[in-house]
Chain A
Amino acid sequence: MKMITRILLLIFLPSVIARDLCKDGKDGYKVRLSIKTALGDEAYEWNESEMFLFRSSLAFAMRKYTQRETFDISNILVCNETKRVSFVFVVTSPNDSTKLIPKDHVASAVRQHKHRINSAFLLSDGTLEFVGIPPTLAAPITYSTQPWLIVFGVVIGAVAVGIVSLLMSTMTRRRRAADKGVDSGQEEEQMEGIVKGNGTSLTRLESKDGVYNQAFSNDERFTKL
C-alpha cells in the first residue's frame, strides 16, 4: 500500500510541480496568437501538435541563446491555455527541473530569435505576441544617396538645359535682328533726326504700336478729376 502511494506520488509529482512552477507566473511570459487575423481562410487549428511545435521552437531559441546548455522540450512548461489562443509558459533549467530561467534571459532569447519563431507559425510580430517582450523593429533602410536627390537632380538638370537653350535662341535671334538692322540703320537715323527736330518726341512711342490720343477721339474724353 505504502509502495503504491509512493510510486503514484513519484509519477504525478513532476507534473504537479510543473503546473505550480508555471502557475506562479513570476518568470513566465504570456503568449498570444492571432492566427485567423493573420491567415484568414488558410488558418490552421490550434492543437497539441502546434503546441509541441511552439515548445520545441522555444527550446531551440534557448539553446541558441545559451550555446552550451541543451534545453529539451520538457523544459518548456505551458499553462493557462484559452480559446483566444493564449497561454503562459516558463522555462526550466536543463540541469535542475525545479529551477526556472530568469525572465530577462528568456526575453533576450526570444527577442534574438523572434523571426525564426514567427516563421515557424507563418505569423508576424503583430500576430504572435509575447506580452512584455517588445519586438525589435526592422532597421531603417539607409541609402548611399537619398533617392529624392536623384530625382531632384534630374529635374533641375532638365530645366537648366531648357533655360539655357531658350536664352541662347533669344540671343541669336537678337543678334540676327541687330545685323539686319545695321544695314537699314542709316536711313532710319536720318528719319529719327527729322522727327526729333519737329518738337514732338516720337521716341515715346517706341515701345507701343501707337498711342490712343484721347483728345481727338470724342467729346466726353476728359477725366472728371
Chain B
Amino acid sequence: MSKEARPSWDSPMQFVLACVSYAVGLGNVWRFPYLCQMHGGGGFLIPYLLMLVLEGIPLFCMELAIGQRMRLGSIGAWTAISPYLGGLGIASVVTSVYLCLYYNIINAWSFWYLFHSFQPVLPWSECPVNSNRSGYVQECEVASPTQYFFYRETLNVSSSIDENGGVHMGLALCLLLAWVIVFLFIVRGVKSTGMVVYFTATFPYLVLIIYLIRGFTLHGAWNGVKYMFTPKLEQLANPQTWINAATQIFFSLGLGFGSLIAFASYNHQNNDFEKQAVAVSLINSSTSVFACMVTFAIYGFKATLNYESCLERMRVLLLNTFGLSESDVSIDNVTVWISHLNHTNPEMFATIASKIEVCSLEAELDTAVEGTGLAFIVYSEAIKNMPVSQLWSVLYFIMLLLLGMGSMLGNITAIITPLGDLKILSRTFSNETLNGLVCLVCLLLGLGFTTRSGSYWFTMFNDYGATLSLLFIVLFEVVSVCYIYGLKRFEKDIEDMLGHRPNWYWRVMWAAVSPALLICLFIVYIINYIQGGTPTYQAWDKDLGRSVVKEYPAYGQAFIALLLISSLSCVPLVALYEFCKRKHRGQPIRQRQTVCTVSSGL
C-alpha cells in the first residue's frame, strides 16, 4: 500500500557531482572570459573571489540546508517554512520552466554543430558558391563563413523579430533529440540522474585540459594569455566591475531556481552540506578561471591569425601595385615598405591609400565577444584553422553539450521534484509519466525557438526571463529564512543535521551581508531597466553582414513585462490567497498549531 520511500542519492559523491554538473555550465565558458576581458584581465579575480565569499558560498549553503532539512522540492519546502511563502516556491518553478524552455535550444545548436563536424571539410570553413559558380554567396562575402553558417544555415534567421518563418526542420530534430536525452537522464529520477552526473561533471574537465594543452601550443596563443594576465587594476575603481562580479557569481551558481533545494531534498539528513557547499562553489569558480585561460589562448591564436593575414593582404597589395619581387617584401617589413613607398612614389601610393589597413594585434585582442557569439562563431573560427579540425570540433561541441546537459538536469529536476511532491499529480500519474509529460510540453513550446525569428525570442528570454526574478526570489529567500522563519530556528535545524551550529561567518553573511548585497544588485537592475529606455536586441542584417540594434515591438515589450510579472507576482498572490483562505475559514491568521503536518494538503 505504501509508495516507495523518497529516493536518495547512492552516495554523497553523486550529490556533489550533481551540484557541480549543474553549477558548471555554459556561463563559465562564455560569460566569465568576457567579463575578465572587459574588467581588467587578472584584476577581475579580486572582486570575483570577494563576491564568492560574501555572497556565493553563503547563499549556496542556505539553499542546500533548506532542501536537506525539508526533504521536499521548492514549493513544498517553502510552504513548510510558512504557508504564506508557498508563492516563493511557485515563482522558482515558473522561472525554471522559462529557463528549461530556452536553455535546451543551446543544446540543440550544439548538436547541430556536432553532427555537422563529421564531414571532410567543416561546413563553416568555406563559403558556399553561388548558383553560377562565379563567386561566393553574397551574404557570406560580406560577413564571414562562420557567421554565415551560424545565422543562415543553422538559424536561418530573419531580419527582425516581427518576421516569423517556418520551423527549421533540422534544428527541430536536434531539439527533439536534446529533450529525449534529458528524458533518458531523468526518467528514473535521482537514480538515473545520479548515474549520469559521473560523466557530465567530469568529462568537460578532460576536454578543457586537452584544449588547454592544444591551445597553449597554438601559434600566437601566448599573446592572448599574456593579455589576460596583465591586470589593469584601474578597472577596480569602476563600480560596474563589482556589480558584474556579483551578478556573475550569483547567476553562475544557479541560485533561486529551486534546483539546489531539489537536489538536496534527496540527501540523507546528516549529510555534511556545509563542506559540500564550499567545495562546489570553489570548483565552480576555479572552472571559470580555467575556462578563461583556454578561451584566451584561443583568442590569442585567432587574433594573431587575423593580424598576420592582414599583413599578408597588405603585402600582396604592395606587390601587385608596385610590381616588386616576392622575396623583397615579407610580412615582417610590410610596414617599413609602406612608409618607404609613400615617400618615394606618392602618386601611385595614393591610388591604393583607401585599401591600406592598419594591422594591430592589440585591436584584434580587444574585440571581446560573449554568449552564443563566442561559443558558436569565435570558437568555431579558431577551430577551423587548427590541424585535424574535425577532431577538435567534435571534442569542443561534446564539451558544450555536456555542460549544457548537466545544467539542464538541474533545471528540469527543479520542476519535476516539486510537481512530484504534489499529491494530486503523484496520485494520478506515475513518476515516469509525469517526467515524460513535462519534457513533452517543454519540447512543444520550445519549437517556437526553432522558427526563423526564434533566436530573437531566445535573446529575450535569456535577458529577461530569469534575471530580475531570481534576484527577487533569492533576496526573499534569505530574508524569509533569517527573519520570518528565524535565524535561531534555522541554526537549530542545522545543528540537528550536522551536529554543530553554523559559525559566525555563516550567521553574519545570512543575516546581514548577503541580503544587503542582493538589495544593491536589485536596485541597480531596476535603475538599469528604467534608464535603459526601450529594450533592444541585436538583429542580423544580411546585407550588411553584421548585427544591428533594433527595438522590441510593442507586443515584445508586453511579453517581457509578462515574463517578469508572472514570476514576481507569485509571491504576493499566494500570500494573499492564503490570507483570504484563512480569513474565510475563520481560522486565526497567526496560530499556535498543536498538530501541524508538514504538507499542507496542496
**Chain A residue at smallest Cβ distance from B69:** A212
Let me know if A211 is at the binding interface, CB within 8 A. yes
Could you tell me if A137 and B129 are in contact, using CB atoms closer than 8 angstroms? yes
Shortest CB distance A22–B (Å) = 17
User: Which of B118, B187, B421 interacts with A167 by CB under 8 Å?
Assistant: B187
A window 154-183: CB within 8 A of B = 155-156, 159-160, 162-163, 166-167, 170, 181
**Chain A residue at smallest Cβ distance from B113:** A148
User: Which of A84, A148, A166, A218 interacts with B326 by CB under 8 Å?
Assistant: A84
Let me know if A12 is at the binding interface, CB within 8 A. no
Could you tell me if B192 and A166 are in contact, using CB atoms closer than 8 angstroms? yes
Let me know if B218 is at the binding interface, CB within 8 A. no
Could you tell me if A225 and B590 are in contact, using CB atoms closer than 8 angstroms? yes
B497-513 toward A: CB 8 Å interface, digit per residue (1/0)? 00000000000000000
**Chain B residue at smallest Cβ distance from A80:** B323
| Bound form: Cα–Cα A74–B537 in Å | 65
Let me know if A68 is at the binding interface, CB within 8 A. no
Let me know if B577 is at the binding interface, CB within 8 A. no
A window 118-164: CB within 8 A of B = 134, 136-140, 147-152, 155-156, 159-160, 162-163
| Bound form: Cα–Cα A151–B174 in Å | 11
Could you tell me if A155 and B184 are in contact, using CB atoms closer than 8 angstroms? no
Let me know if A86 is at the binding interface, CB within 8 A. yes
Could you tell me if B82 and A225 are in contact, using CB atoms closer than 8 angstroms? yes
| Bound form: Cα–Cα A120–B593 in Å | 97
Shortest CB distance B184–A (Å) = 5
Let me know if A32 is at the binding interface, CB within 8 A. yes
**Chain B residue at smallest Cβ distance from A171:** B432
Could you tell me if B1 and A209 are in contact, using CB atoms closer than 8 angstroms? no
Interface size classification for chain A: 35 or more
**Chain B residue at smallest Cβ distance from A155:** B177
B296-324 toward A: CB 8 Å interface, digit per residue (1/0)? 00000000000000000000100110011
Q: Which of A33-41, A57-65, A89-97 contacts B (4 or more CB under 8 A)?
A: A33-41
Could you tell me if B177 and A156 are in contact, using CB atoms closer than 8 angstroms? yes
Q: A148-B116, A212-B598, A223-B82 are in contact. Are A163 and B184 (CB under 8 A)?
A: yes
Let me know if A48 is at the binding interface, CB within 8 A. no
Residues of A within 8 A of B486 (CB): 220, 224
Residues of A within 8 A of B488 (CB): 220
Residues of B within 8 A of A166 (CB): 184, 187-188, 192
A window 194-224: CB within 8 A of B = 204, 206-209, 211-215, 218, 220-224
Q: Which of B2-10, B220-228, B239-247 contacts A (4 or more CB under 8 A)?
A: B2-10
Residues of A within 8 A of B71 (CB): 208
Could you tell me if B492 and A218 are in contact, using CB atoms closer than 8 angstroms? yes
Of listed A34, A138, A147, A189, residue having the most chain B CB within 10 A: A147
Let me know if A188 is at the binding interface, CB within 8 A. yes
Let me know if A83 is at the binding interface, CB within 8 A. yes
User: Which of B115, B184, B324 interacts with A159 by CB under 8 Å?
Assistant: B184
**Chain A residue at smallest Cβ distance from B326:** A36
Of listed A137, A159, A192, residue having the most chain B CB within 10 A: A137
**Chain B residue at smallest Cβ distance from A38:** B326
Let me know if B527 is at the binding interface, CB within 8 A. no
Residues of A within 8 A of B82 (CB): 223, 225
Could you tell me if A136 and B134 are in contact, using CB atoms closer than 8 angstroms? yes
Let me know if A47 is at the binding interface, CB within 8 A. no
Residues of B within 8 A of A84 (CB): 319-320, 323-326
Shortest CB distance B158–A (Å) = 23
Shortest CB distance A115–B (Å) = 13
Let me know if A82 is at the binding interface, CB within 8 A. yes
Could you tell me if B326 and A215 are in contact, using CB atoms closer than 8 angstroms? no
**Chain A residue at smallest Cβ distance from B116:** A148
Could you tell me if B326 and A152 are in contact, using CB atoms closer than 8 angstroms? no
The interface size of chain B toward A, counting residues with CB under 8 Å, comes to 62
B window 1-33: CB within 8 A of A = 1-3, 5-6
Could you tell me if B181 and A223 are in contact, using CB atoms closer than 8 angstroms? no
Let me know if B217 is at the binding interface, CB within 8 A. no
| Bound form: Cα–Cα A149–B169 in Å | 11
Residues of A within 8 A of B3 (CB): 206-207
Residues of A within 8 A of B181 (CB): 159
Residues of A within 8 A of B115 (CB): 147-149, 151-152
B590-602 toward A: CB 8 Å interface, digit per residue (1/0)? 1011111111000
Let me know if B345 is at the binding interface, CB within 8 A. no
B window 544-602: CB within 8 A of A = 589-590, 592-599
**Chain B residue at smallest Cβ distance from A181:** B1
**Chain B residue at smallest Cβ distance from A148:** B115
| Bound form: Cα–Cα A93–B319 in Å | 33
| Bound form: Cα–Cα A209–B319 in Å | 83
Residues of B within 8 A of A181 (CB): 1
Shortest CB distance B175–A (Å) = 12
Residues of B within 8 A of A150 (CB): 118
User: Which of A160, A189, A208, A218 interacts with B6 by CB under 8 Å?
Assistant: A208
| Bound form: Cα–Cα A203–B111 in Å | 46
Residues of A within 8 A of B319 (CB): 34, 84
| Bound form: Cα–Cα A213–B594 in Å | 10
Shortest CB distance B407–A (Å) = 19
User: Which of A134, A213, A220 interacts with B135 by CB under 8 Å?
Assistant: A134
Could you tell me if A224 and B484 are in contact, using CB atoms closer than 8 angstroms? yes
Shortest CB distance A86–B (Å) = 6
Could you tell me if B326 and A222 are in contact, using CB atoms closer than 8 angstroms? no
**Chain A residue at smallest Cβ distance from B127:** A137
Residues of B within 8 A of A34 (CB): 316, 319, 326
Could you tell me if B594 and A215 are in contact, using CB atoms closer than 8 angstroms? yes
| Bound form: Cα–Cα A188–B1 in Å | 7
**Chain A residue at smallest Cβ distance from B121:** A141
Residues of B within 8 A of A149 (CB): 115
**Chain A residue at smallest Cβ distance from B330:** A36
| Bound form: Cα–Cα A61–B380 in Å | 41
Could you tell me if B320 and A159 are in contact, using CB atoms closer than 8 angstroms? no
Could you tell me if A152 and B177 are in contact, using CB atoms closer than 8 angstroms? yes
Of listed B3, B118, B489, residue having the most chain A CB within 10 A: B489
Q: A166-B192, A207-B6 are in contact. Are A138 and B129 (CB under 8 A)?
A: yes
A204-B597, A222-B592, A225-B84 known; 7 new pairs, CB 8 Å cut-off, are A34-B326, A84-B326, A137-B135, A163-B183, A211-B599, A213-B595, A221-B489
13 example contacts (A-B, Cβ-Cβ < 8 A) are as follows A36-B326, A36-B327, A84-B320, A84-B325, A86-B323, A151-B118, A152-B177, A167-B432, A170-B188, A207-B3, A221-B489, A223-B485, A225-B82
Q: Which chain B residues have a beta carbon within 8 Å of chain A's beta carbons?
A: 1-3, 5-6, 71, 81-82, 84, 111-112, 114-116, 118-119, 128-129, 133-136, 170, 173-174, 176-177, 180-181, 183-184, 187-188, 192, 316, 319-320, 323-327, 421, 423, 426, 432, 484-486, 488-489, 492, 589-590, 592-599
Q: Which chain A residues have a beta carbon within 8 Å of chain B's beta carbons?
A: 32, 34-37, 82-86, 134, 136-140, 147-152, 155-156, 159-160, 162-163, 166-167, 170, 181, 185, 188-189, 192, 204, 206-209, 211-215, 218, 220-225
Q: Lowest 10 A-B CB distances belong to which pairs?
A: A82-B323, A148-B115, A83-B325, A36-B326, A137-B129, A84-B323, A209-B5, A151-B115, A207-B3, A223-B82
